[in-house]
Amino acid sequence: MPVWYTYGTREPSYPVHDKCSQQHQYDFWKKYNNIRIKPTPTKENPHSSGCGVVGDKTEILKPCERHPHHQYDVQRFYTKDEWHENLYNFVLMKEKGHDVASMDSVLGWRYVKQFKRNSDGSVGLVDLNKVKANN
């Protein structure tokens, strides 16, 4: 199940730490998606990024010209399977509270639109080049 989980630096349990609700959420989805679960730092010694566990790949996005101060710190996690698919993303937006920022749904859609459900119930990738050619 592809997951794009957006969280803000003004949320009550920021920075993310061991035993907080976010840690339980991301460990659940990582386990579900066959992604290695790394120990989450404690509340007393959180990771300097504030994201809890650093992803296999980190990406900084500043997607909105209208709001150039909006910054998303994307922690990408990949499966332990042979194809190493990116099925979990913890996305930390700077200065975001418990609200929805204008680019949250846009970024989420950019991520999930690359997936499809196969006839056997498994997740597959959409050939985006074919989709573009047919539109």
Residue with the larger pLDDT of the pair 4 and 96: 4
| Tokens 């050939």, residue located | 127
What pLDDT score was predicted for residue 15?
A: 92
pTM beyond 0.75: the answer is yes
* pLDDT at residue 135 tops 80: no
Of 29, 80, 27, 90, the C-alpha closest to 54 is: 90
Pairing of strands 57-61, 123-125: unpaired
My answer on whether omega of the bond before 15 falls inside 30° of 0, hence cis, is yes
Domain ranges, ordered by start, for the chain: 3-134
Look up residue 22 and give its amino acid.
Answer: Q
Span 25-37, pLDDT tens digits: 989 999 999 999 9
